[in-house]
């Protein structure tokens, strides 16, 4: 294995989480093999992440998967930014203990424009292929849905923790929620993806994509799942509804000020998930944090906050944010 393949594998697997060491090792090996094969074929990997539209504003938690996409772009791979203009109408039940409110197609399309504007603060716009999944999912017939659905059991589709809890409580589970993983999995078939990126809570959906690709006699995608970013309290998941967030469109000064308040024990995840540093640089910074005195810790936090702000707003605005923050 050459150094370029080793570097890519290390970079792409950095920050991934599966809750299962054997699954991590499997995906690591599969990714390495796919990179070697693609290099021999002299082609880029087809990499994507899907984003359902749940509101007009994005925060740093949303950028975790975007930064992983950007890493693939920087190594020359083909990146697809898929807006779930169809799947948003269903609602992903993966992280929900209640059904999502139904959304109109017009609202989803309007907010999609805002999503892409914010995403391109992380992604290279000129190297990103923007897709809307209603363009293929709304064309699927009932006969095709029945055919595709036959490869999954009801027990599999209802086996996720979020749906189990609702079943136990006898809460409403809408029929379309059961079909959500199948709809999302079809994106992988349409794109003929080599790699799909998603949150750890979406692992079932990503694995469904592998299964559906195999059904269509495609090589199954590698699934890279990223942990949920904790919010500015360092405990709960980043969420706008709780005020526990840093918005992409907030001013650089505001981002920097909030980042400087992040508890020290939450900083390693911010380093691994939100910075552009190499894996070795990230590990050195995490090690330095664990050994720092009060003055050293303050300087390290400034470096981390500057890097995260600069990665979104640019070096000049990050420099200015540091100056304002030191006043």
Q: How is the chain split into domains, by residue range?
A: 3-226, 252-326
Question: Mean per-residue pLDDT for 33-57?
Answer: 93
pLDDT digits (tens, 9 = 90+) for 312-323: 999 999 999 998
The CATH topology of domain 3-226 is Rossmann fold (3.40.50)
CATH architecture of the domain 252-326 equals Orthogonal Bundle (1.10)
* DSSP E strand stretches across the chain: 46-51, 78-83, 128-132, 195-199, 222-226
Residue (of 200, 5, 208) closest to 87 by Cα position: 208
Residue 159 pLDDT exceeds 80? no
Question: Which positions ≥6 away from 244 have C-beta within 8 Å?
Answer: 231, 232, 233, 236, 237, 238
Residue 98 pLDDT exceeds 70? no
Mean pLDDT of the residues in the chain = 91
Residue 178: the pLDDT is 83
Residue 43: the pLDDT is 97
CA atoms 158, 217, 72, 286: torsion sign: positive
Burial 273-304 (b: 16+ CB within 10 A, else e): bbbebeeeebeebeeebeeeeeeeeeebbbeb
How far apart, in whole angstroms, are the C-alpha atoms of residue 234 and residue 102?
A: 31
**3-226 and 252-326 have identical folds:** no
Residue 255 pLDDT exceeds 90? yes
Question: Mean per-residue pLDDT for 246-271?
Answer: 95
């Amino acid at each position: 294995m050459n150094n370029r393949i080793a570097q890519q594998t290390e970079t792409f697997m950095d920050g991934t989480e599966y809750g299962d060491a054997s699954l991590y090792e499997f995906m690591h090996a599969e990714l390495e093999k796919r990179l070697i094969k693609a290099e021999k074929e002299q082609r880029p990997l087809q990499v994507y992440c899907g984003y359902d539209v749940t509101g007009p504003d994005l925060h740093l938690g949303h950028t975790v998967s975007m930064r992983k996409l950007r890493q693939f772009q920087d190594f020359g791979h083909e990146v697809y930014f898929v807006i779930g203009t169809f799947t948003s109408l269903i609602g992903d039940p993966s992280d929900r203990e209640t059904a999502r409110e139904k959304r109109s197609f017009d609202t989803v399309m309007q907010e999609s424009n805002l999503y892409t504007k914010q995403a391109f603060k992380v992604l290279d716009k000129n190297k990103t292929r923007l897709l809307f999944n209603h363009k293929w999912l709304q064309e699927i017939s009932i006969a095709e849905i029945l055919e595709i659905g036959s490869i999954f059991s009801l027990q599999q589709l209802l086996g996720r923790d979020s749906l189990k809890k609702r079943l136990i409580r006898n809460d409403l589970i809408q029929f379309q929620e059961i079909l959500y993983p199948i709809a999302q999995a079809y994106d992988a078939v349409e794109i003929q993806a080599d790699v799909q990126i998603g949150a750890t809570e979406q692992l079932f959906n990503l694995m469904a994509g592998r299964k559906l690709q195999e059904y269509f006699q495609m090589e199954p995608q590698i699934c890279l799942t990223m942990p949920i970013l904790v919010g500015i309290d360092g405990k709960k998941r980043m969420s706008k509804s709780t005020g526990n967030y840093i918005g992409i469109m907030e001013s650089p000064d505001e981002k920097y000020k909030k980042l400087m308040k992040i508890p020290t024990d939450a900083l390693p995840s911010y380093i691994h998930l939100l910075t552009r540093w190499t894996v070795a640089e990230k590990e050195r910074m995490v090690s330095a944090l664990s050994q720092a005195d009060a003055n050293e810790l303050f300087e390290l936090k400034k470096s981390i906050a500057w890097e995260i702000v600069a990665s979104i707003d640019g070096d000049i605005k990050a420099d200015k944010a540091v100056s304002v923050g030191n006043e």
